[in-house]
Amino acid sequence: MSQSAKLIPDLYRTCLLLSLFILLCIHSVSSDEIYNKRENAKRGTFITNLASSLGRICKKASNVQIKSGRDIVELRESWDLVTREELDHEWEDCEEDSGDDMGCMVDILLICKSPFASKRLWLNILDENDNPPKFSKKRVHLSMPENTPRNSEWALDIANDPDSSENGVTGYSLSCENCDQDSKGTFQLIDDERRSTDGVILPKLVLKTELDHEEKDNYIFKISAFDADGNFFHHFLNFG
Ligand SMILES: [Ca+2]
Ligand SMILES: [Ca+2]
Ligand SMILES: [Ca+2]
């Protein structure tokens, strides 16, 4: 066998060994994992232990750098990954809403520099109903002419509830603050007919009987928005 023919397998073997060496040096223990935790979970809440994954390669937890959109976790010497603050689903930079389970996903990347290794996981902060609905204005004014036809409708202001859909606004109620027995049925609030494309309830006020300016020229309504747990907020509507 010529000298050059012998060199080719040697070169091939060297490349193979070098590739294996690089693979052994660059560990990636990442298989994206999702950990669900309820919002308002206290600081120090256990997420997972990384001793058998990252800890196997990177000998000291202090060698691990954590990269995340939010400084939300810390890694202890025991390789316990824990929260470093109380969790909040309504964090405004929440990366995405994870849909059905009403979570807020936080991307967490853990990097060991020497030997190089990395692990990526997601913390899914599950929503709790910890906010009441709120109106942006305390008082709203609407006007109407006396000859307004019956069944005329007025769109009402929408309350905002930062919780996810099921914990958000689920309905509205109306009470007249200056009506007597005869006039309290003049208007009706309807909140179960219309929704926006993203499911937000669009309440409206409907005129049920004809108006008589000489009998009553002003209505004061208290309109309340509430969520599934009965948290509510109200504002006033002056109509006249
Ligand atoms: Ca919250
Ligand atoms: Ca919430
Ligand atoms: Ca709520």
Instruction: Give tens-digit pLDDT for 36-79.
Output: 999 999 999 999 999 999 999 998 999 999 999 888 999 999 99
Distance 204 CA to ligand 2 centre (A): 27
CA dihedral for 38, 41, 46, 50, sign (positive or negative): positive
CA–CA separation, 143 vs 240, rounded Å?
A: 5
What pLDDT does residue 200 have?
92
The pLDDT value recorded for residue 100 is 55
Start-end ranges of CATH 2.60.40.60 in the chain?
A: 28-126, 139-239
Q: Which of 164, 102, 156 is nearest to 131 (CA)?
A: 164
Residue 134 Cα to ligand 2 midpoint, Å, equals 14
| Contact present, 140 and 236 (Cβ < 8 Å) | yes
Which ligand places an atom closest to the C-alpha of 159? 3
Q: Of 145, 159, 163, 127, whose CA–CA distance to 232 is shortest? A: 159
Measured in Å, residue 155 CA sits from the centre of ligand 2 at: 27
Q: Ligand 1 mean position to 99 CA, how many Å?
A: 17
Q: pTM of the predicted model, to two decimals?
A: 0.76
Positions in the chain short of pLDDT 70: 1-32, 93, 95-101
Max CA pair span of the chain:
117
- In CATH terms, is domain 139-239 a member of 3.90.550.10? no
pLDDT attached to residue 166: 81
pLDDT of residue 43: 97
Can you tell me the distance from the alpha carbon of 99 to that of 118, in angstroms, rounded to the nearest whole number?
28
Q: How far is the CA of 25 from the centre of ligand 1 (A)?
A: 42
197 DSSP 8-state letter: T
CA of 90 to the centre of ligand 2 (A): 6
> Distance, CA 43 to ligand 3 centroid (Å)?
23
CA-based end-to-end distance of the chain: 106
CA of 223 to the centre of ligand 3 (A): 17
pLDDT of res. 70: 84
Nearest to 121 by CA among 70, 71, 68, 85: 68
Amino acid, res. 193: E
Superfamily classification of domain 28-126: Cadherins (2.60.40.60)
- The pLDDT, as a whole number, for residue 22 is 44
CA distance 223 to 235: 6
The CA 121 to ligand 1 mean position distance, Å, reads: 22
Length of the chain in terms of residues written: 240
* CA angle at 152 for the pair 210 and 230, rounded to the nearest 5°: 105
Do the Cβ atoms of 114 and 25 come closer than 8 Å?
no
